[in-house]
Copies of this chain bind each other. A is one copy, B any other.
Amino acid sequence: MTSIPHTTTRRNVLIGATATAIPLLGTGAAHAATPRGGTGPHVGVLLYDGYSLLDPTGPAEILSRLPGATVTMVAQERGPVRTDTGDVAVLAERSIDEVDRLDVLLVPGAGNRGTVGAMNNDALLGWIRRVHRHTAWTTSVCTGSLVLAAAGLLDGRRATTYWASAAYLESTFDVTYLPRRYVRSGRIVTAAGVSAGLDMALYLASLIADEETARAIQLAVEYDPRPPFDSGDAAQAGPELKERALRLLAQSQV
């Protein structure tokens, strides 16, 4: 029942739009000619227990396509770090003690438990403050902005966060909340909830490289979003939908 294509054609399943692109899609030669990593930005993504899976992985997918980029998952200790659902774990390749310089720091958001845990983790907050001194861009997704705020990085700044955390952010910290997909304040860029990290990462790509590179990365990940529904904007959502959304989140989290 299996279709068996010519193995020769299987050497390249990505037929480039242009002949010159095809050789690069071979596996060996392309990389001998264009070794990756180390020559571009070093992006560090902080993982902590209970983060939301898409928060770190969406931006990592996009920023990893920057020329020469290196993406490193960092946590308090090396090893698997579980998401808010407890079902999935991404491997932290380095501990915070092993990482002191990054071009880009990204702090993801989490459920209530994970966010509170990170906000009360002095080791993580101290590391964020130390690394931030030398970053080109310090960034967050979703409630990651609460972690940046707890580290003192957002004092007096404008920022965004997860829609359901906006009131907490403004009432707890000296921060002005802006209901945008991402907000730049100096070299700090905060993104709204979960999926907003994708939009922020493309913006960061244009700042780190240039707009043409960012546009090419958007095409590389075919980011032409067409959700089947139009209910992602909290400003347009009624109380029942908001309650249902928060209930689903709470019930899915451990």
Question: Could you tell me which A residues sit within 8 Å of B by CB distance?
Answer: 1-3, 5-7, 9-18, 20-21, 24-27, 30-31, 34, 36-37, 52-54, 57-58, 60-61, 64-73, 80, 83, 85-91, 93, 111-113, 115-116, 119-120, 125, 129, 142-143, 146, 149-152, 155, 162-165, 167-168, 171-174, 181, 192-196, 198-199, 202-203, 206, 211-229, 231-234, 237, 239, 241-254
Contacts and interface: CB of A to CB of B under 8 A. Distances in A.
B239 A17 contact: yes
Q: Which 7 pairs of residues, A with B, have the shortest CB-CB distance?
A: A193-B222, A224-B232, A225-B225, A17-B242, A54-B61, A24-B250, A215-B231
A130 to B, nearest CB: 12
Nearest to A143: B13
Nearest to A233: B224
16 contacts: A3-B173, A5-B173, A12-B112, A15-B164, A17-B164, A17-B242, A31-B251, A54-B61, A64-B87, A65-B248, A194-B222, A194-B223, A195-B223, A218-B231, A219-B244, A224-B232
A26 to B, nearest CB: 7
Given A90-B91, A222-B233, 5 more contacts: A1-B129, A13-B115, A194-B220, A195-B221, A202-B227
Contacts of A17: 164, 234, 237, 239, 242-243, 246
A13 B222 contact: no
Contact of A36 (B65, B206, B228, B254): B254
Nearest to A252: B65
Copies assembled: 2
Contacts of A151: 2
A5 B147 CA distance: 12
Contacts of A119: 10, 13
A222 B53 CA distance: 14
Contacts of A211: 229
Contacts of A252: 36, 64-66, 69
Contacts of A93: 87-89
A227 B218 contact: yes
Nearest to A221: B194
